[in-house]
Amino acid sequence: MSYEPPTPPVNLPTEIVNTLNESDPERLRDVATYAEALAEHKEREARLEESADQEEGKERPNDLPDNVPSKATITIKEINNNRYYYWQWRDGDKVRSQYKGPVNSDE
């Protein structure tokens, strides 16, 4: 009784098929484990990139300056008893701010 080896996928490059055919069962299992983990990693990266692209597609507020990211929020700072709006966002470990304008006294 003889068993035929599995047929490789047609889109698998010949050099990879040849390398796999020359490998022992332990190496083949290592390759399978690594290939599965790598596929999951690449799929996750693609989902994150797609998610980031969708975030970029969201509409920016009209008064948001070009150099301020859309994730910025407005905060109020009081300086010398005067209140001012600032755009504020996180950039890595730092918090960045950019002046927006004075707070109107009737707000």
- Tens digit of pLDDT at every position of the chain (107 positions): 678 889 999 999 999 999 999 999 999 999 999 988 888 888 888 777 776 656 555 555 667 787 888 788 888 888 888 889 888 988 888 888 888 889 886 65
Nearest residue to 86 via CA among 66, 65, 105:
65
Note the pLDDT of residue 1: 67
What percentage of the chain carries pLDDT values higher than 90? 23
What would the pLDDT profile of 32-58 be if each residue is shown by its tens digit?
999 888 888 888 887 777 766 565 555
Note the pLDDT of residue 8: 92
